[in-house]
Amino acid sequence: MTERRLAVVTGAASGIGAATAALLLARGHAVLATDIAADGLAPLAAAGAETVVADLSTDAGRAAVIDAADAWMGALGAPLDWLVNAAGMIVLKPIGEVSGDDLRRAFDVNVGSAFILTQRLGERMRDGGAVVSFSSPSAKFVATTEAAAYALTKAAISQVTRSFAKAYAPRGIRVNALSPGITDTPMQARVLREVSEQRGIPEAELSAARLATVPMGRSAPPEEIAGVVAWLLSDAAAYMTGQVVNVDGGMVMW
């Protein structure tokens, strides 16, 4: 029988975050799911998750999640085991139009939330726990210049991962990141829609061009990515820390 673990999952209202929270619940773990979108959290609440609506781009939103986690752990009488930093947003603009506000917002959501929650919830995590954050193939090469601000934040996540992996290693807490390729999520649908509009080409043409960069020739459902997240959290990955794992159908092979 699998030992029940306590996991906080951010960005849990849709996409990979939702799939990860649902998978952990299905495997009998306790989940605190958070997102800015209340409606998207409802299915997880119905499945037994504790939910918190919070804007993780703000100090107040991060504090709300930390306070909720403290109360939740107190009620369950157990420390935190896992943290999944799946919250994220994307800026899609021609690179010459990206503003300082765009950069600040992207960093606050994608990097600031992962850093602060890994810092603060890591303090509350049991020795031997695990953290998984999300990088992106865009951190390693440029395919879509309209996503330059997003790519910048995902490169930063790789370093956040390495820094906390080093800091937490004496406690046996593993900190890794996942770099998912083209995944069937609302964010991916938005990329196709908005970038095709900006370039003046059909969505189908852009989608075909993107899939042509994937040796396996397909996108992934979010459940496939969630399975790798669950593996990284598990004891099966007990000797793995400070890594950015590519899960992208062969798009990146280094």
Q: Which residues are catalytic?
A: 150
Euclidean distance between CA atoms 103 and 143, whole angstroms: 19
Euclidean distance between CA atoms 254 and 251, whole angstroms: 10
CA-angle at 92, arms to 209 and 192, nearest 5°: 35
Q: CB of 165 within 8 A of CB of 241?
A: yes
Query: Phi first, then psi: what are they for 113, rounded to 5°?
Result: -65, -45
Residue listed under structure tokens 């080409």: 201
For residues 196, 197, 198 and 201, what is the CA-based torsion angle, rounded to 10 degrees?
50
Q: First vs last Cα of the chain: how many Å apart?
A: 36
